[in-house]
Chains A and B, each alone.
Chain A
């Protein structure tokens, strides 16, 4: 698998550390309530199809990257710096 780091270009996936669904970006308010927090910390979808994950370019530039990919076709559809994605949504 090859991932295009927005800063370093296309690199082998062994340079990256995988953490999981990019919903981790959407941290709830402290008083959002048990259900919201439980969902945020513990519950993840497992889609057959398009998914957005967080990858960390640990053996590269240390960027956290939002990778949009298709779990069926293995296509990597888009990559973006997590900080850009976060700033755009907040």
Chain B
């Protein structure tokens, strides 16, 4: 219910929202949790394993009870913490983990079966028979034990990722964080202040306290106003810092439009990488629940959460509130409620020296030992030391077992927190994250005054480290009450007492783990699943440790903590992968002929990041094979045009360019004449073939290397590596010019005729023989011409600056068509090169060496080169190695398939008998059949042998004959035309 005159919500802005289909009203500034409590909705979920009713436990991002699903369809978002989700007009949320409804849930029968579902029940109950696991047990468990579900649809929301840089990152905007930010910002430091709440102020908004003789809220508002007026400060609300990483890098998740009806073009979330020279962690502390029988009933919350609902949202979570405490701090809850006119049934304090009540009874030296109520709390029982049990009628229990500093980020770089007996909790170990200092409650300083002092001091230290001039600050006065606490983790007694509300882990489960010898905290965690729910044990870890320590007769510090890992709060995969959905997954590279190719109806296929035409369909053609056969015919009989710009082009210049190429290629390039091109083979240092291609010498100290499309990047990286790491003595420079030049293959008997129609100076066989290269002028544009061939035909490649590419492609193709030829695509290119036995990365696939592909004589004996020494290892020239061969069908089955295996005719087709495999196949119009390339053990000596080609996946078995890999024009006469 609402409490008049309290809260920061805007009562002039009512909003309607739906929960499980029922419409409710809240106000702007409400979270779903505060709005539900204001409407007296107590039960909001069912638990993970036992399907017990669950209510709202806290008021922050660590919420252990109130997980809901927001939205529907592709926008459905499961496991949203109702304490974090702000309401907006039209918000629709559903409870989770119940069927058919929250009130009546069939699987709550699990709660009756609880004796069988304790710690380790997965391992014990579902062991045998083995086959039942997949078919029966797992599907049943998955259905019954779980939290929210994904929609199964592609995520329709937009996400963003971003970088930010600062001198000082302040994490948290409670009193210590605000003080740190003020001190640093006033000294001129670039400050980023991150606050995971929608408003700044941290606990200041949830408490009634004074700073500098004004209310804590007002002091915080003034501090934020000052900070927001400064250019050197960036305030980021709704932003959770999720992880601390190397070199001052922090991950942060900003909830940009989760609170808006319409995103208005904004992303749903932005994942930030913040690089900070220094950081101050002011993350506060999390109040810990106490384990007692039936402590999981809706209506049982933490004491500070009750204060937050009162002060921040103007909501009383109950009509008659009881406080259960072992420390002074929790008594504020009773005081504040009474001051606001809310009835307090009493304070039950475990300490006999607890403070007296101010308008409410205090039951000293007593412990709450049970709760009752159907779907929400109706009463609590409490027991005195002498065993006397009493009962209070109450609909809200505000419990506090003390506070746990939020040490998480200080442990993300493998740090461990240390035990502080004075507060009975873990505090950060200094220096665990370089450049990060913890202050205030997360550092174990629980009074407001101590928080302000530490915030100021840490900022001064950071300023000193940054070399900035510091300005002395007055730290304002504030409450400085001592933290008085008597440890209490679990109230003794029968029945189930919950530690982990999300994963349904009880005190008994932890004790059982210890009994069954899972005594290490890491083993206990995995055996019981304690701390493995979305809150990652923020509410339960320390208490569970304490119970384990007790059960194993060790102290808590000796028992130790589990490892704290990022993220601090759940981070959606979508935000981490922002921009990478669909087309964003990989950039698309288009050639200059892309538009013209698409206009001609060419299906574009991926070649790395590039897109290349598969074939160019002509009117009346029904299959790609018809188009491919026609295009092969262009090249063999007339002239074909193909965009080859995707091949890597590396410009190599300098007096030592030739010597450099001699070192990276197996063969000689320093001896290549200017105006000539040579085929080169490049090895990795282990002797395996890395890449191949042609390199042209355009001048004395100027070469242009061509790489394969796939290896353009790796070869560039390799060349830079060789130049910088191995041969800095060579005077040579490298630059990739792949995108600067549009390059087209012009191939076929009429290729020169086609080119001579364009070239300003005509060429002939004398002045432009096979492997010649040089500068030409085509239709007034200066370009380069290379007489090289990947088809075995008389062919050229002509290159022009990329801006002329589209025009040149259209001119070449239309003129080729007039000569009985035309454009050809990748399919035809592939057939043409297979007919000639030319290799691609299908053959040089990372396991083949020069010997395997029949090029061992290309490894020059006159010089050293990368890979030479290792390629001479005896095992790499063993005749039994698989060697490149041609394969043609000779039986009734004419189809060949790449990836199939070769077997001796008499052997059975099992893996152990495989003699080799197929790498490339294509249908050759020339021979009227499929032909292929492959690798066969001792293959060069087996030409003429008949074998079986078996494709076990596609179920193809063909009788084949092994042959020379060069099927077409083995003498090579055509290329010299």
CB contacts under 8 Å to A, within B403-418, are: 413-414
Complex alpha-carbon distance, A81 and B163, angstroms: 27
Which residues of B have CB within 8 Å of A63?
A: 724
Complex alpha-carbon distance, A62 and B736, angstroms: 11
Residue ID in chain B nearest A88 by CB atoms: B728
CB of B245 within 8 Å of the partner chain: yes
Give the Cβ gap from A84 to chain B, nearest Cβ, in Å.
8
Q: Which of B434, B717, B726, B873 contacts A56 (CB 8 A)?
A: B717
CB of A2 within 8 Å of the partner chain: yes
Which residues of A have CB within 8 Å of B721?
A: 19, 54, 56, 64
**Cβ–Cβ contact A86 & B720, under 8 A:** no
**Cβ–Cβ contact B724 & A75, under 8 A:** no
Give the Cβ gap from B434 to chain A, nearest Cβ, in Å.
7
Residue ID in chain B nearest A1 by CB atoms: B246
Which residues of A have CB within 8 Å of B725?
A: 24-25, 54, 64, 82-83, 86
* Count class of interface residues, chain A: 35 or more
Which residues of B have CB within 8 Å of A75?
A: 434
Give the Cβ gap from B739 to chain A, nearest Cβ, in Å.
15
Residue ID in chain A nearest B736 by CB atoms: A62
CB of A27 within 8 Å of the partner chain: yes
Residue ID in chain A nearest B713 by CB atoms: A58
CB of A90 within 8 Å of the partner chain: yes
Complex alpha-carbon distance, A75 and B864, angstroms: 39
Give the Cβ gap from A61 to chain B, nearest Cβ, in Å.
10
Give the Cβ gap from A4 to chain B, nearest Cβ, in Å.
9
CB of B98 within 8 Å of the partner chain: no
Complex alpha-carbon distance, A28 and B864, angstroms: 11
Give the Cβ gap from B317 to chain A, nearest Cβ, in Å.
44
Give the Cβ gap from B810 to chain A, nearest Cβ, in Å.
34
**Cβ–Cβ contact B247 & A83, under 8 A:** no
Complex alpha-carbon distance, A62 and B720, angstroms: 7
Residue ID in chain A nearest B863 by CB atoms: A30
Give the Cβ gap from B814 to chain A, nearest Cβ, in Å.
40
CB of B869 within 8 Å of the partner chain: yes
CB of A45 within 8 Å of the partner chain: no
Give the Cβ gap from B15 to chain A, nearest Cβ, in Å.
41
A1-B246, A2-B248, A30-B868 are contacts. A86–B717 as well, Cβ < 8 Å? Answer: no
A-B interface contact total, Cβ < 8 Å: 70
Complex alpha-carbon distance, A73 and B432, angstroms: 9
**Cβ–Cβ contact A27 & B726, under 8 A:** yes
Q: Which of A2, A32, A86 contacts B724 (CB 8 A)?
A: A86
**Cβ–Cβ contact A90 & B720, under 8 A:** no
CB of B947 within 8 Å of the partner chain: no
Complex alpha-carbon distance, A86 and B275, angstroms: 32
**Cβ–Cβ contact B246 & A74, under 8 A:** yes
Residue ID in chain B nearest A37 by CB atoms: B869
- Binary interface encoding of chain B residues 766-805 relative to chain A, with 1 for a CB under 8 A from any of its CBs, else 0: 0000000000000000000000000000000000000000
**Cβ–Cβ contact B728 & A17, under 8 A:** no
CB of B249 within 8 Å of the partner chain: yes
CB of B40 within 8 Å of the partner chain: no
A1-B249, A86-B725 are contacts. A37–B717 as well, Cβ < 8 Å? Answer: no
Which residues of A have CB within 8 Å of B414?
A: 72
Which residues of B have CB within 8 Å of A32?
A: 869
CB of B961 within 8 Å of the partner chain: no
Which residues of B have CB within 8 Å of A41?
A: 685-686, 870
* Chain A CB within 10 Å, residue with most, of B246, B717, B729: B246
Give the Cβ gap from A6 to chain B, nearest Cβ, in Å.
12
Complex alpha-carbon distance, A27 and B275, angstroms: 37
Residue ID in chain A nearest B247 by CB atoms: A2
**Cβ–Cβ contact A30 & B717, under 8 A:** no
Give the Cβ gap from A54 to chain B, nearest Cβ, in Å.
7
CB contacts under 8 Å to B, within A1-56, are: 1-2, 10, 12, 17, 19, 24-25, 27-28, 30, 32, 34, 37, 40-42, 54, 56
- Binary interface encoding of chain B residues 236-252 relative to chain A, with 1 for a CB under 8 A from any of its CBs, else 0: 00000000011111000
**Cβ–Cβ contact B163 & A58, under 8 A:** no
Write the residues of chain A forming the contact surface with B, with a CB cutoff of 8 angstroms.
Answer: 1-2, 10, 12, 17, 19, 24-25, 27-28, 30, 32, 34, 37, 40-42, 54, 56, 58, 62-64, 72-76, 81-84, 86-87, 90
Write the residues of chain B forming the contact surface with A, with a CB cutoff of 8 angstroms.
Answer: 163, 245-249, 273, 275, 413-414, 434, 685-686, 717, 720-721, 723-726, 728-729, 864, 868-870, 873
What are 10 A-B contacts defined by CB distance under 8 Å? Answer: A1-B249, A12-B273, A30-B869, A63-B724, A64-B721, A76-B246, A83-B725, A86-B726, A86-B728, A90-B729
9 residue pairs, one from A and one from B, having the closest CB atoms: A2-B247, A83-B728, A74-B246, A1-B246, A64-B724, A83-B724, A82-B725, A30-B864, A30-B869
